[in-house]
Structure 1
């Protein structure tokens, strides 16, 4: 209830004769109660509107469709991942303590992102996370510790990812020089996303019809999921068998059929509820060998194009990119771990 309305009701109550004041007091209490309920209702709608929509749809049934086999966090976009056994799943993706998925980004000096598409040897930078400390290692380089907490005097840089602006705090000259010395092509910086910064909005980076969420430096969604069976299916079509690391999923699922993950609209893992956003369109990034840092620009991209193109009705979303893996948004935050059942939620 606004201050003006509260003042008016107070004045009215004191203007009444004594005989009517008891009734006025009751009305005053009722008005306060209604106003408080309205305010709480508005707040609840603004923060849990999605839960309200779920309630209106009625109770849902759970059917197990798989089991979590692996969980990966990729702290620095395009560098090696860190495998973990348990994570919190936030609206912006996976977290294990201060280890966050794609919360660090390599950029050029002008702020434009750099990924393994342009610098394939980025995939050779290994990340060790111990006691909330990130240590970088790479072939022919001395290990380097990245400061866990950056100084407030470090510059906040304007960055650009696929044409969308976002900020990041510079991790310092030493880290920038280390990456520059390893890649040996031009000058690079490393920036870190901070939670008070504005994320990239889904409607800026995906089709306007997708759910409303924000991400830091991932391509487009908080969580990417892929099944072991889908990779096995692909490997039957290739001369050189590939590892899961080549496709950089966050959650690897076992116990389902190939590409069954394409059909999971709403899932529950641990205490986390997720909604399907769209399939993962694949580019030359998957032609970078994670062990050598060599990019071929051919396989497995060409093979996937032979049998994993989208339905013609979805070409406005995927164009000619083959689809492999599924992107999910986080409907209800919580935690999940390796071994958790993956449930499909249906009405």
Structure 2
């Protein structure tokens, strides 16, 4: 992988990352990758595909506000920017410092205790010790645009106003914060600036790397056989949880169809200190479940210079065909 790819992923607070051995060979030149992608799409359109069921959707979760509580949903639209249900869109809201730099649970662990509840065309924010705060699900165009900085990349957000800013400032009690909202007409962060060159082109709003992250129940169960204190799915914040497959079978899934949605694997999810924030207490211990994952989920030694010490848990996907999906849908691998 080139230096540019390494630098971009280092912005995420992770070692420079690439595709692990079981996900394919990462050492491709940019020109070869471009030609390969074109050939892949052309070949795919010509060849008949076979659908092989690999599991079933057990849970769908939208995280409207980055680092805050997820909202379980029974069905969702899947856009190129991620899951959407009504006025809730995945990671379309972001807490920032007054200078626009992002704030996540890595810096403010108690963000994981903030809930977002839809009520008609409004959203209700809740947090321990705080009165609920109601805000519109769409900010007026008269609110100023904020230039933000997310993992070293520029992106915009619509400021959500002084009342919401004061609410977060009072809750976190460390410095002044503001809340911004991404809008569909805004320019997302391009994948080519976040990830290595071999990754297909797409955009994301405020997620770390990709619009969709998938994890299986079996993988979490496997992890918990190795831990005294059990981890929860909330430690890992997947959008789609799959049941009915073996542990880490998701590592092998390339192209998926769920409902009317088609997805393409991006790469494995390298885990960071964020996983050590307790979703029930908002306390960060900087050890578990990350240490246990490091004991058996590191990449192949041949890829150590890329992944270093980040364990791999879950898979990132891009959205190739938008549509809808729901809990209980079969998860098909598309075999060409």
1:182 alignment partner in structure 2: 171
| Separation of aligned partners in 2, 1:312 and 1:333 | 37
Match of 1:251 among 225, 233, 240: 240
Aligned positions of 1:54-203 closer than 5 A = 54-56=44-46, 58-203=47-192
2:225 alignment partner in structure 1: 236
Q: Is the 8 A contact 1:279 1:325 kept in 2?
A: yes
- How big is the shift at 1:320? 1.6
1:333 alignment partner in structure 2: 322
| Separation of aligned partners in 1, 2:305 and 2:203 | 22
TM-score by length of 1: 0.84
- How big is the shift at 1:220? 0.5
1:290 matches 2:296: no
- How big is the shift at 1:54? 2.4
Q: Is the 8 A contact 2:121 2:136 kept in 1?
A: no
Q: Is the 8 A contact 1:99 1:132 kept in 2?
A: no
1:139-159: CA deviation from partner (whole Å, max 9, x where unpaired): 110000122221222110111
| Separation of aligned partners in 2, 1:52 and 1:101 | 31
**SS of corresponding position for 1:218:** coil
| Separation of aligned partners in 1, 2:259 and 2:305 | 34
TM-score by length of 2: 0.87
Q: Is the 8 A contact 1:265 1:276 kept in 2?
A: yes
Structure 1 window deviating more from structure 2 (303-312 vs 213-222): it is 303-312
The alignment yields a C-alpha RMSD, in angstroms, of 1.4
- Runs of at least 5 residues in structure 1 that lack an aligned partner in the other structure: 1-47
| Separation of aligned partners in 1, 2:95 and 2:39 | 36
**SS of corresponding position for 1:76:** coil
- How big is the shift at 1:316? 5.2
- Larger RCO (CA under 8 A, 6+ residues apart): 2
- Runs of at least 5 residues in structure 2 that lack an aligned partner in the other structure: 1-37
1:6-47: CA deviation from partner (whole Å, max 9, x where unpaired): xxxxxxxxxxxxxxxxxxxxxxxxxxxxxxxxxxxxxxxxxx
| Separation of aligned partners in 1, 2:42 and 2:161 | 45
**SS of corresponding position for 1:135:** strand
**SS of corresponding position for 1:178:** helix
1:267 alignment partner in structure 2: 256
Aligned residues: 299
| Separation of aligned partners in 2, 1:50 and 1:114 | 38
| Separation of aligned partners in 1, 2:264 and 2:305 | 21
Structure 1 window deviating more from structure 2 (242-251 vs 310-319): it is 310-319
